[in-house]
């Protein structure tokens, strides 16, 4: 879903003879670059005709005011842009509310839908407390309560973000005996790998929550009640590859996960072509015990890095603050809260990083992390393995024949990185992109190689 993000380490480490037969089908969309360029021209033309935005001091002042109220840190002046000057945002006034909520008993996993405090009650899409009529309704419209997403789509999103920012605690309350991992599935349509994920989740209620954002037009049948995906769709809107709607969907997922369960401590973004590489207890412990969050955030010279920065974002986002990174994040609760509370940076991205000359999903979070958190908060690496070695604007897709025991073992242990200050070979907890026809192989190898199923 990203363009030319390349993990050069991964390229060099691709297994050769030992792991897999010669790498077969690599799907590549040659058109995407040309199309992106064409759209970029259109977008640029429209920007040229639009009035100046953040350069107006009134607008900047308004932004600054909004940022302060939300606990986001804005540049003290237009010229000071050194990232290291930034401090973590102050704790929100919501700390007291969070304390009150400590007495909240842990909700049963995957059914706790209503958040304890915030009136109006928070409900995930059509997954509210099971009323037969709600079930029926969800079957009719595909489990989404948002059907008409073409009108004023921003209003309800804004309300959702404001609610999450105001009422979801920034830290996991002390009353949570076990912090949970929120698995955020951003899918285009169905989830072909769901049976593998179900094996992964089975037996570990209480360690995780699942949230699914899919196309509002999705009309597939409900997963069975025993599935971890049963009634876990959030109200969704259409997402276009490479466009700002992708980031909007990510924020929607984060807001729902923040509101739904205050014990959600880590937030992992996944796609329909993702697979897990380790069992859930390993993933859970890796994430909740980590001293860092896993989000790439780096400064890349050239057209696909700094070249995507739009000067109109200055002074709110200075050129020196611009960062790039893989879309596939693992966030902690504090950064997830910053994301939903962000009324300063996101509007700028929506305005100036919306077309395919920019790819907001590769820049918004990496840049936000760079601005609002100290640099060491992020591990500057993604937990999702992808293969960009063939170039192009989509990563390689792997088919059934490429999924071998050796390949999986290599994905699990074939790299070296740092975890909590120590060197480890467990660098990737997930991998993509795997075609649906590889599912049977994963199901077969998972018990032996990955310890579940």
In the window 202-231, what residues touch ligand NAG (CB under 6 A)?
Answer: 217, 219
- Smallest distance from ligand NAG to CB 132, Å: 22
Dist. CA 70–CA 232, nearest whole Å: 29
Q: Which of 3, 5, 214, 380 binds ligand NAG (CB under 6 A)?
A: 380
Listed ranges 115-123, 234-242, 282-290, 361-369: which one lies at the site for ligand NAG (CB under 6 A):
282-290
* Total number of residues that touch ligand NAG (CB under 6 A): 9
Are 47 and 312 in contact, with CB atoms under 8 Å apart? yes
* Main-chain phi, psi angles of 222, to 5 degrees: -60, 145
Dist. CA 70–CA 342, nearest whole Å: 7
Nearest to 191 by CA among 276, 274, 279, 283: 274
Listed ranges 23-31, 162-170, 288-296, 315-323: which one lies at the site for ligand NAG (CB under 6 A):
288-296
288 binds ligand NAG (CB under 6 A): yes
* Helix, strand, coil percentages in the chain from 3-state DSSP, rounded to 5: 40, 10, 50
Q: Which of 284, 324, 354, 356 binds ligand NAG (CB under 6 A)?
A: 284
Q: Which is nearer to ligand NAG, 129 or 220 (CB)?
A: 220
What is the residue-wise DSSP string for 190-255? --TTHHHHHHHHTT-TTSEEEEEE--TT--PPPPPTTSTTTT-BPP-----TTSHHHHHHHHHHHH
- Smallest distance from ligand NAG to CB 285, Å: 4
- Smallest distance from ligand NAG to CB 375, Å: 6
Q: Which is nearer to ligand NAG, 18 or 136 (CB)?
A: 136
Listed ranges 72-80, 83-91, 194-202, 284-292: which one lies at the site for ligand NAG (CB under 6 A):
284-292
Strands 264-270 and 180-186: parallel
Q: Which is nearer to ligand NAG, 107 or 142 (CB)?
A: 142
* Main-chain phi, psi angles of 260, to 5 degrees: -65, -45
Are 138 and 212 in contact, with CB atoms under 8 Å apart? no
Q: Which of 23, 230, 241, 298 binds ligand NAG (CB under 6 A)?
A: 298
Q: Which is nearer to ligand NAG, 8 or 119 (CB)?
A: 8
Name the strand (E) or helix (H) holding 332: strand 330-332
Q: Which is nearer to ligand NAG, 50 or 289 (CB)?
A: 289
Q: Which of 44, 50, 285, 418 binds ligand NAG (CB under 6 A)?
A: 285
- Smallest distance from ligand NAG to CB 278, Å: 12
Nearest to 264 by CA among 122, 73, 157: 122
- Smallest distance from ligand NAG to CB 379, Å: 9
Dist. CA 311–CA 358, nearest whole Å: 13
Q: What residue ranges bind ligand NAG (CB under 6 A)?
A: 217, 219, 284-285, 288-289, 296, 298, 380
């Amino acid at each position: 879903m990203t363009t030319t993000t390349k993990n050069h380490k991964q390229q060099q480490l691709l297994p050769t003879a030992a792991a897999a037969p010669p790498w077969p089908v690599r799907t590549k969309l040659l058109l995407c670059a040309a199309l992106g360029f064409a759209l970029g021209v259109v977008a640029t033309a429209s920007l040229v005709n639009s009035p100046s935005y953040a350069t107006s001091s009134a607008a900047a002042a308004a932004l600054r005011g909004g940022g302060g109220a939300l606990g986001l840190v804005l540049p003290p002046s237009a010229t000071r842009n050194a990232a290291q000057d930034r401090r973590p945002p102050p704790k929100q006034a919501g700390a007291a509310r969070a304390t009150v909520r400590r007495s909240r008993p842990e909700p049963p996993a995957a059914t706790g839908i209503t958040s304890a405090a915030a009136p109006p009650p928070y409900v995930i899409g059509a997954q509210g407390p099971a009323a037969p009529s709600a079930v029926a309704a969800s079957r009719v419209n595909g489990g989404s309560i948002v059907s008409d997403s073409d009108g004023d789509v921003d209003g309800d999103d804004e309300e959702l973000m404001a609610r999450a920012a105001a009422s979801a605690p920034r830290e996991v309350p002390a009353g949570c005996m076990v912090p949970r991992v929120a698995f955020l599935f951003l899918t285009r349509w169905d989830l072909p790998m769901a049976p593998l994920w179900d094996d992964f989740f089975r037996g570990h209620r209480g360690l995780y929550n699942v949230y699914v954002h899919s196309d509002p037009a999705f009309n597939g049948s409900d997963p069975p009640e025993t599935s971890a995906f049963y009634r876990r769709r959030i109200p969704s809107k259409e997402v276009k590859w490479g466009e700002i709607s992708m980031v909007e969907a990510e924020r929607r997922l984060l807001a729902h996960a923040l509101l739904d369960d205050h014990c959600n401590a880590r937030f992992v973004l996944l796609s329909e072509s993702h697979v897990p590489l380790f069992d859930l207890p390993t993933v859970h412990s890796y994430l909740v015990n980590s001293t860092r969050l896993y989000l790439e955030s780096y400064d890349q010279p050239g057209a696909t890095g700094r070249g995507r920065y739009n000067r109109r974002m200055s002074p709110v986002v200075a050129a020196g603050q611009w960062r790039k990174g893989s879309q596939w994040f693992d966030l902690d609760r504090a950064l997830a809260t910053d994301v939903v509370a962000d009324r300063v940076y996101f509007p700028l991205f929506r305005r100036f990083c919306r077309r395919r000359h920019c790819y907001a999903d590769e820049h918004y979070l990496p840049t936000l992390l760079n601005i609002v958190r100290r640099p060491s908060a992020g591990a500057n690496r993604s937990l999702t393995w992808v293969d960009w070695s063939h170039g192009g604007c989509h990563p390689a897709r792997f088919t059934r024949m490429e999924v071998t025991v050796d390949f999986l073992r290599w994905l699990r242990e074939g790299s070296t990185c740092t975890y909590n200050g120590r060197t480890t070979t467990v660098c990737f907890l997930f991998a993509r992109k795997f075609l649906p026809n590889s599912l049977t192989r994963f199901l077969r190898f998972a018990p032996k190689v990955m310890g579940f199923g």
